[in-house]
C-alpha cells in the first residue's frame, strides 16, 4: 500500500489520499482501506466515503481527538498493507440502446464523430471496474470507458433521469440506480434493479450486453 | 392505539430521525434531521430516545388531527400552533394541531410520546427526499400509528437556560467554517472576498444543499478535481462560481473544489436557515472548531 496523505476536510472528516489520479494501484489501496475500516472502525467512526483514489473517514468529533483518529487510521492502514483482496466479481448488465431509452446517444455519436452502432459496440465491448458507489444511493462510478466515447456533461442537467439509465460523463461511465436529477449523457437503459438492494459493490467488474427493445421488460 | 392524521403537510413535512450512518460505501449519506438539536430536544421532552423518528416540518402550514390521546412536544423554529414550544403537552383525542408560518427559523419537529410505527430502510426511518430512500414526504390523508405506551424514558423538562442555549445554536446567521481541502486553489483575495461577503440563501428550501447568492468566487487557475468524498457542510464552488453548502442529503462524493466547511457546532443552524436569509462565514482553526462542541452556544 502506498503511504497515504492525511488531512482534515472538515472538523469531522479525515481525507485519506493514495493518489491524485485513477490507477489500479490506488483502487486496490482504496479497497484495502475500505475493508480494513469496515472490519476495525477507528475511534468514533460514523461513516466512510470511498472514491477513485481516496477515502473519507467521518468521525464523531466528540468521541476522540484528531490526533487519536489520525494515529488509528495510520495503524489500521499499516495492518491492512498485505490484506488479500477477494477476486472481483463479474456482473453482466443488459442494456437497451434504442429509443425511447437512449436519450443522448445521437449527441454522443455526433461528438465522437462515429456512428450510433459504433458507440454501442465500443460501450458494450469494454470491461469496466466499479471504482466506488457515490453521488447517489447505489450509483456506480465505472472506469474503463473507451477514450473516444468521452463526452462532457450536458450543459442543462435533466430534472429527472429514469432509474436504470446507463450514462456517460467525461471519461466516466455510470448507471442511475433511482430516478433522480442528473447531468450525464444517457445512452441506454437496463431493466436490472441496481438499488435497493445494491447490485454492485466496490471492485466489481461490469460488462454491458446489448438487448433489443422488445426484450427490455 | 392512538393515531395521527395528516390534514395538511404544509410546505414539506417528512419523518426524520438521526439518519443512517455507515452506508457511505453504498453511496448513501447519513442524512436524517436537518436540525438534530431540535429533534433530540423534542424527543427528550416526551420521554423518547433522542434518536426516535419525529415529524420534520419546513416553513410551516402543516396540520394534524389526533385519534386517541397523546403527549407531544414541538421544538425548533417558532411555528405558532397553539401549544407552547419546547414543552410536553397532553393532547386529547379529537384535537387538532395547526401550524402557522415560521416567524423565526425554518424547521420544527413534532415528537409524540412512544414514537410512531414505521418501516425502516437501512436501519433508519428517515426519508431521503431526493432519492426516495425511506419513503416519501407526508401527504394529506396519511395516517401515522403511535406506539402504545408513554415513551421509554422519563420525560425531561428544558429550563430557560437550556432552551436559550439550543436557540443560540440553531438561530445563528454567522456560521463558523474551517478552510476546505481545496481552499489553496483560490487566491488569497478570493478567500478574503468569501469571508467579507454577506451571502443570501437561495429561494428553495432543500435538504440536499443550500445555494448561495452573492459574488461569484473564481479559482486562481482552472483545475480538474478527481471526484472525492464530500463531507456534510462542505461549501463547494461549481463552475459558475456560486457556492453551494452541501446539506444533510448531500451527495457522498463530488468533483467540485471545496473552499470551506461549516463546523460541526453550526450544522444545526444550517437546518434553520430560510430562503433569502443573509449569512456570513467566519473562518476558525480545526482546534477551535472542535472546542466549540464542548461549549455549546
pLDDT in tens, B4-39: 999 999 999 999 999 999 999 999 999 999 999 999
Evaluate whether B267 touches A58 at the Cβ level (below 8 Å). Answer: no
In the predicted model, what is the mean pLDDT of chain B? 95
The confidence score (pLDDT) of residue B295 equals: 65
The confidence score (pLDDT) of residue B153 equals: 78
Bridge-based pairing of strands B199-201 and A54-59 is unpaired
Band of residue B297 on the pLDDT scale cut at 50, 70, 90: very low
Band of residue B148 on the pLDDT scale cut at 50, 70, 90: confident
The confidence score (pLDDT) of residue B92 equals: 96
Q: How many CB atoms neighbour CB B57 within 10 A?
A: 28
Which chain B residue shows the shortest CA-CA distance from A132? Answer: B25
**Dihedrals phi, psi of A128, to nearest 5 degrees:** -110, 160
Distance in Å, alpha carbon of A117 to nearest chain B alpha carbon: 30
Which of A10, A135, A201 is opposite residue B252, by nearest beta carbon?
A135
Q: pLDDT at residue B152 above 80?
A: no
Owner of C-alpha cell 442494456: A95
**Largest distance between two CA atoms of chain B:** 64
Of B247, B223, B251, nearest to B106 (Cα)? Answer: B247
Contact yes or no for B229 and A20 at CB 8 A: no
Size of interface A-B (CB pairs under 8 A): 143
Q: pLDDT at residue B221 above 70?
A: yes
The pTM (predicted TM-score) of the whole model is: 0.96
**A121 touching chain B per CB within 8 A:** no
Contact yes or no for A133 and B25 at CB 8 A: yes
pLDDT in tens, A98-146: 999 999 999 999 999 999 999 999 999 999 999 999 999 999 999 999 9
Q: What is the DSSP string of B45-89?
A: HHT--TT--EEEEESB-EEEEEES-EEEEEEES----SS-TTS-E
Q: Which of A4, A8, A10 to mutate to test the interface with B (most CBs of B within 10 A)?
A: A10
Q: Which residues 69-108 of A are in CB contact (within 8 Å) with B?
A: none
3-state secondary structure of A144: coil
In the predicted model, what is the mean pLDDT of chain A? 96
Evaluate whether A11 touches A59 at the Cβ level (below 8 Å). Answer: no
Q: Which residues 150-189 of A are in CB contact (within 8 Å) with B?
A: 177-181
pLDDT in tens, A27-79: 999 999 999 999 999 999 999 999 999 999 999 999 999 999 999 999 999 99
Evaluate whether B74 touches B12 at the Cβ level (below 8 Å). Answer: no
Of A186, A163, A159, A192, nearest to A173 (Cα)? Answer: A186
Distance in Å, alpha carbon of B270 to nearest chain A alpha carbon: 15
The confidence score (pLDDT) of residue A215 equals: 84
pLDDT in tens, B59-100: 999 999 999 999 999 999 999 898 999 999 999 999 999 999
Q: How many CB atoms neighbour CB B241 within 10 A?
A: 13
**B186 touching chain A per CB within 8 A:** no
Amino acid at each position: 500500500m502506498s503511504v497515504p496523505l492525511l488531512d482534515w476536510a472538515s472538523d469531522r472528516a479525515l481525507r485519506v489520499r493514495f493518489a491524485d489520479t485513477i490507477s489500479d494501484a490506488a483502487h486496490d489501496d482504496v479497497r484495502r482501506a475500505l475493508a480494513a475500516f469496515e472490519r476495525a472502525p477507528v475511534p468514533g467512526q460514523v461513516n466512510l466515503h470511498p472514491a477513485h483514489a481516496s477515502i473519507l473517514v467521518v468521525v464523531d468529533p466528540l468521541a476522540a481527538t484528531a490526533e487519536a483518529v489520525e494515529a488509528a487510521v495510520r495503524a489500521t492502514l499499516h495492518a491492512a498493507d498485505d490484506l488479500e483482496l477477494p477476486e472481483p466479481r463479474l456482473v453482466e448488465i443488459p442494456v437497451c440502446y434504442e429509443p425511447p431509452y437512449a436519450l443522448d446517444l445521437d449527441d454522443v455519436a455526433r461528438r465522437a464523430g462515429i456512428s450510433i452502432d459504433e458507440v454501442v459496440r465500443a460501450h458494450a465491448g469494454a470491461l469496466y471496474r466499479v471504482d466506488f458507489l457515490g453521488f447517489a444511493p447505489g450509483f456506480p462510478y465505472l472506469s474503463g470507458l473507451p477514450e473516444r466515447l468521452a463526452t462532457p456533461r450536458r450543459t442543462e442537467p435533466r430534472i429527472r433521469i429514469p432509474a436504470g439509465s446507463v450514462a456517460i460523463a467525461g471519461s466516466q461511465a455510470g448507471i442511475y440506480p433511482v430516478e433522480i436529477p442528473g447531468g450525464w449523457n444517457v445512452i441506454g437503459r437496463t431493466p436490472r434493479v441496481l438499488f435497493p438492494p445494491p447490485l454492485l459493490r466496490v471492485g466489481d467488474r461490469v460488462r454491458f450486453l446489448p438487448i433489443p427493445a422488445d426484450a427490455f421488460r | 392505539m392512538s393515531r395521527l392524521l395528516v390534514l395538511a403537510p404544509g410546505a414539506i413535512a417528512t419523518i426524520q430521525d438521526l439518519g443512517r450512518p455507515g452506508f457511505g460505501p453504498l453511496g448513501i449519506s447519513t442524512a436524517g434531521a436537518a436540525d438534530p438539536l431540535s429533534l433530540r430536544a423534542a424527543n427528550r421532552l416526551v420521554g423518547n430516545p433522542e434518536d426516535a423518528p419525529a415529524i420534520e416540518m419546513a416553513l410551516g402550514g402543516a396540520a394534524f388531527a389526533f385519534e386517541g390521546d397523546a403527549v407531544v412536544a414541538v421544538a425548533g423554529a417558532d411555528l405558532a400552533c397553539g401549544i407552547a414550544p419546547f414543552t410536553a403537552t397532553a393532547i386529547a383525542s379529537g384535537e387538532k394541531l395547526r401550524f402557522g408560518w415560521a416567524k423565526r427559523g425554518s424547521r420544527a419537529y413534532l415528537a409524540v410520546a412512544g414514537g410512531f410505527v414505521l418501516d425502516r430502510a437501512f436501519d433508519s426511518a428517515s426519508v431521503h427526499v431526493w432519492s426516495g430512500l425511506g419513503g416519501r414526504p407526508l401527504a394529506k390523508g396519511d395516517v401515522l400509528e403511535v406506539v402504545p405506551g408513554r415513551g421509554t424514558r422519563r420525560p425531561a423538562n428544558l429550563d430557560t437556560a437550556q432552551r436559550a442555549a439550543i436557540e443560540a445554536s440553531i438561530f445563528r446567521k454567522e456560521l463558523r467554517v474551517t478552510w476546505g481541502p481545496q481552499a489553496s486553489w483560490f487566491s488569497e483575495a478570493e478567500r478574503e472576498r468569501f469571508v467579507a461577503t454577506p451571502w443570501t440563501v437561495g429561494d428553495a428550501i432543500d435538504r440536499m444543499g443550500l445555494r448561495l447568492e452573492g459574488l461569484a468566487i473564481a479559482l486562481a487557475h482552472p483545475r480538474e478535481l478527481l471526484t472525492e468524498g464530500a463531507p456534510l457542510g462542505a461549501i463547494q464552488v461549481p463552475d459558475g462560481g456560486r457556492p453551494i453548502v452541501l446539506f444533510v442529503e448531500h451527495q457522498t462524493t463530488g468533483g467540485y473544489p471545496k473552499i470551506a466547511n461549516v463546523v460541526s457546532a453550526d450544522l444545526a443552524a444550517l437546518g434553520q436557515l430560510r430562503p433569502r436569509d443573509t449569512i456570513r462565514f467566519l473562518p476558525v482553526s480545526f482546534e477551535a472548531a472542535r472546542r466549540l462542541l464542548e461549549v455549546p452556544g
